[in-house]
Amino acid sequence: MQLSRFQIRRQFMADTVLCANSQVRKIMNSNFKVREIDIDGIKIGGKNAIIIAGPCSVESQDQIIQIAKAAKAAGANMLRGGIFKPRTNPNDFQGLGIKGLEYLLEAKRQTGLPIVTELMDTQHLDAFIKHVDIIQIGSRNMYNYSLLKAVGETKKPILLKRGFSATIREWILAAEHIAKAGNENIIFCERGIRTFEEYTRNTLDLTAVPIIQKETGYPIIVDPSHGTGIRALVGIMSEAAIACGANGLLIEAHTHPEQSISDKDQTIDIGELEQITKRIALLK
């Protein structure tokens, strides 16, 4: 008998015994299903893959509004854009800060797209609780337990990126910190890990997708932009992510990728974003 992709995944969820979940109390999956996280009626973990797209950084009000409109027309469901940027080099652009939040809100007002942006410091938590739809915890902060606890004490959906050197177990335990503090609105995001490989910026670990779903029952989306660092690979890896069951994608897209202030080499244009949303729809 020929099994479908969905049947094979269901079998994996129900029958496979993995061994890394001992000591994880709060977020162990007990019913072999992925739960839905609802953001204004958009369900992450439901039957449709959710596309979150936008620039690496919010650069100006015009830039983010223009991208939001174009991304929406291309099929994106939510808008991303960093306002606090965790840059390796402190001399690089650090983001527009809280001013950028005003620009994101204006883009949301004009398009209706919910906004996703990274929180780096608890001093901005109140503003994020009030205005942001999904709070992103970046790769560099996955081990920042006081930040995890602080967002755990809210009810906001949290996009928890994988630390670039984190094992899946450490990542699950980071989510456990959030859940233990009281917040079970968690979405995992695989964004690639650091390995010996040099062709790509990171090694995109798609095995994390079924493993996280099975072990935790929380949804997981994939970031093929940071996961590859290479614009031409974003579409290919987007399809691969959805094919292995990811609940959505986080994609860096810009109306003028070459002018991106940060991460331009991995940023796709809006035409490519539209191609991806169309190809993803065929994978349903």
Residues at the site binding ligand PEP, with contacts judged by CB under 6 A: 56, 82, 86, 138-140, 161, 191, 226
From residue 39, alpha-carbon distances to 83, 167, 185, 187, 253 in Å are: 21, 28, 10, 11, 21
We find the least distance from the C-beta atom of residue 200 to Mn ion, in angstroms, to be: 15
- Select 140 or 279, whichever has its Cβ closest to ligand PEP: 140
| Stretch of residues binding Mn ion (CB under 5 A), selected from 54-62, 124-132, 215-223, 274-282 | 54-62
Of 188 and 218, which CB lies nearer to ligand PEP in the complex structure?
Answer: 188
- Closest residue to Mn ion in the complex (CB): 56
Which stretches of the chain are DSSP H helices? 5-15, 61-73, 98-111, 125-131, 145-152, 168-180, 208-216, 224-228, 231-243, 270-282
Query: How near is the Cβ of 55 to Mn ion at its closest, in Å?
Result: 8
Q: Which is nearer to ligand PEP, 13 or 186 (CB)?
A: 186
15: Cβ contacts below 8 Å, ≥ 6 apart:
none
- Exactly one of 53, 56, 135, 268 binds Mn ion (CB under 5 A); that residue is 56
Cα 214 to Cα 21: distance, rounded to the nearest angstrom: 10
**Chain residues 239-268 in contact with Mn ion, contact rule CB under 5 A:** 263
Instruction: Quote the CA–CA distance of 70 and 84 in Å, as a whole number.
Output: 23
**Closest approach of ligand PEP to the CB of residue 117, in Å:** 9
Classify the phi-psi angles of 192: left when phi > 0, otherwise alpha if psi is within -120 to 50, otherwise beta: left
If the CB atoms of residues 9 and 161 are measured against ligand PEP, the closer one turns out to be: 161
What is the distance in angstroms between the CA of the first residue and the CA of the last residue of the chain? 21
Shortest gap between Cβ of 99 and Mn ion (angstroms)? 19
Contact set with Mn ion (CB under 5 A) = 56, 263
